[in-house]
Structure 1
Amino acid sequence: MATWNDLVTFIRREYEIMRDEPDEIRIRLHYGEPEDREQRTQMVVVAREVLDGREDWIQIACPFARLEQVDLVRVLTEVGATTVVGGIVLMGPYLVLRHSLPLLNLDINEFVDPLVMVTGAADDLEEMFTGRDDF
């Protein structure tokens, strides 16, 4: 997989699409068994970014809380101790777990594994720090 269009085609085939725009696609992942009344979901934004006007990258971004809902030092401490991929950023009023990858020569597992890890970690953070399932 080496182009944005290839990645989007794969995402459309494999995931539940929430919104589809030229340089951004939003998907929803589900956690727990389908028959589980407590099944959680996590929204993730996969966006195309162009680095230095020449290199295509993808960004995986999962909001998990509003800044005013959490103790930022506790969140950063938790992420520093437990999270392998991604980093916390503030996007508007939202705390977002975000990870970026170069698109050139990207293999499918190099996308799927970070996608699963970032969304799973964001869902865990959301549950841990807000006790909710808003995203």
Structure 2
Amino acid sequence: MATWEDLTAFVFDTYRVIDREDDEIRVEVEFEDERSQVIVICREVLDNREEWVQLVSVCGLADRVDLRAVLETVGHNSVVCGLAIIGDHLVLRHALPLENLDINEFTDPLSLLAGSADEIEETFFGGDGF
């Protein structure tokens, strides 16, 4: 996979797409326990030349959680993903260069991010709101 268009086609064939804009696709990942997690897949361009894809999932509202406890959990349990605050939301996110991207370099982090975000949401926010 080398372009945003290639990735977009793969995402539409493989995942449950719930929304689409030019440089953004939202998919819903469902789990066996009837929980689900929305993942935002965004096209980013660095320095007007390098295309990247960013995976983002909202865990909850940042002002309603012990950030140190969440950071410690992510530090101990997550191989991929970084924790960030975007607007009012606490999110997990991961970024990958599109050039020479192998499919497992996309699907594995997306799956790990979805599971981790859902676990954080359940553990620290007590629900399934995002």
Distance 1:83 1:13 in 2: 27
- TM, length-normalised to structure 1: 0.94
User: Which residue matches 2:20?
Assistant: 20
User: Which residue matches 1:4?
Assistant: 4
Matched residue SS, 1:58: strand
Question: After superposition, where does 1:1-135 map in structure 2 within 5 Å?
Answer: 1-32=1-32, 38-135=33-130
The runs of 5 or more residues in structure 2 that have no matched partner are none
Aligned AA (1:129): F
Cα RMSD after superposing both structures: 0.7
Matched residue SS, 1:78: helix
Aligned AA (1:112): T
Distance 1:71 1:90 in 2: 13
Distance 1:44 1:69 in 2: 21
Distance 1:105 1:22 in 2: 22
The runs of 5 or more residues in structure 1 that have no matched partner are 33-37
User: Which residue matches 1:35?
Assistant: none
- TM, length-normalised to structure 2: 0.98
Aligned AA (2:9): T
